[in-house]
Amino acid sequence: MGTLTSFFGGSGGGAAAIPNVSYDPIRKATYKSYLTISQYQNFTMVPMSDTTFATFAGSNAGTMYGGHYTINDDGSITENQAPTSLGVNGAPFAGCATADHVLLYRTSGGSADGCFDKVAWNGSALSLTNILIGAGPYNFQVAGAALFNGYLIAMFAEQAGAGIQAAMIRPDGTTQGTGFNTAMKYGTLREVHYTGAADGIYGFGRPSAGQSSSYYAIGYQIVLPGATSGNDWVIQSLYDHLMTNSNTFGQMSGIASWPSRTAGAHFFGVDGNSRWGRGMAGREGLSVEFSQSPAASPTTNGEIRFPADAMTHDNYGNWRQYNGTITDGKDNSLVLISNEGMGSFPIPSAFDFVGVREFDGKTPSSANSKTVQVGKYLVAAGESSGTNEMVLNTYEVE
């Protein structure tokens, strides 16, 4: 049996730990290779293992395509399956995965209905099976997670009613789709935000019961595989709220949330008077710290909308990947979290302007890129102007 240092990759030998780019500092990223692929509309990447990832592209009224790729030891990319029709129409939005399955969210049709799909990789081809279809949600209330135990889970809150739709893929490939009444308010003003974590999906914000001007509370909801039916874990929803008062914290005006590195999740929010509340939650409860009322009324809209301006795309939910990294729902780009502790403001920042270095003689359409972590590599994808193609660069990170 090896020593502790050899087991953990220390000076006694063993492999060095792969950084979790969402939380660990990046010392350097060394460029390795590029690959050009043919599909570009609503392009989405989902890491599946330390060497493989899937790509998806398509539009609401058009064919959705899926591809599968391996990163080799030298950082080059092998195309296992070129972008191929998955037999449905849709615009891929975000996803999380294991080596065998992707839990993918897409919109489809003129009404942009929300769909959860299982996309399976059998070693040679991707295949898609729909799990559920629901009324289109707001983007900041769509989130998913590859849980530490190998389950994939995702949920969204419907615009058309007070309902949550949730989907799960178990490690054996069986699926569940179900609905709940939501304990959180849905709306267009970022009063609720969802994030995937190691143990489930967390929602923070204004509880659905708190719609009167005299009701002040911070609510949270967790969706997780928390019950059993026969031999299967099934999806469960837990929720609670913490009453405040009008002298401490009013109704939520803006909020952002992000997962803790191990389990649970954090949030930071403000009310309409620029007072803030921050805290975290786990399965057993909610911990919140509130600010005092400001000395003067806020003078700029930016003070009230701090989460919207300073946090990562707070109008899109977060997705936890198999390796513990976090991606946002806007660009499917890595989220960098500067400080997990609550002693200072942790400011998540999307890694969506890292840029693409090699464009194979083509012209980038913008500075924006989509970036995910696959093992010890970053994969950064940028659209090539006028060619309807995506160029993927790999970087080895330390």
Per-residue pLDDT of the chain (398 residues; tens, 9 = 90+): 343 333 333 334 456 789 999 988 888 999 999 999 999 999 999 999 999 999 999 998 899 999 999 999 999 999 999 999 999 999 999 999 999 999 999 998 766 688 999 999 999 999 999 999 887 777 668 999 999 999 999 998 877 666 889 999 999 999 999 988 878 876 666 788 899 999 999 999 888 877 666 778 888 999 999 888 888 999 999 988 888 877 778 888 778 888 988 899 988 888 877 777 888 898 888 888 877 655 444 444 444 555 555 555 567 889 999 999 999 887 788 888 875 554 445 556 667 777 788 888 888 888 778 999 999 999 999 999 889 899 999 999 99
Structural domain contains residue 97: no
Of 319, 341, 364, the position where a domain reaches its end is: 319
Q: Which domain holds residue 329?
A: 19-92+121-132+321-398
159 and 299 share a domain?
yes
* pLDDT score recorded for residue 283: 85
Q: How far is CA 79 from CA 64, 67, 136, 303, 394, in A?
A: 18, 8, 33, 47, 14
* pLDDT score recorded for residue 32: 96
352 and 313 share a domain?
no
Of 295, 319, 343, the position where a domain reaches its end is: 319
Encode burial over 261-297: b for 16+ CB neighbours within 10 A, e otherwise.
beebbbbbbbbebbbbbbbbbbeeebebebeebeeee
Structurally, the chain folds into a number of domains equal to 2
- Give the 3-state secondary structure of residue 193: strand
Burial (CB < 10 A; 0-12, 13-18, 19+), residue 132, is middle
Of 278, 296, 319, the position where a domain reaches its end is: 319
- Give the 3-state secondary structure of residue 204: strand
Burial (CB < 10 A; 0-12, 13-18, 19+), residue 28, is exposed
335 and 293 share a domain?
no
CA distance 386 to 338: 36
Structural domain contains residue 98: no
CA distance 132 to 202: 20
CA distance 83 to 36: 11
Q: How far is CA 7 from the centre of its chain?
A: 31
Q: How far is CA 11 from the centre of its chain?
A: 35
227 and 369 share a domain?
no
56 and 162 share a domain?
no
74 and 178 share a domain?
no
279 and 312 share a domain?
yes
150 and 220 share a domain?
yes
Structural domain contains residue 196: yes
CA angle centred on 304, ends 346 and 293, rounded to 5°: 90
CA angle centred on 72, ends 68 and 76, rounded to 5°: 85
Structural domain contains residue 357: yes
> Model-level pTM?
0.90
* pLDDT score recorded for residue 246: 75
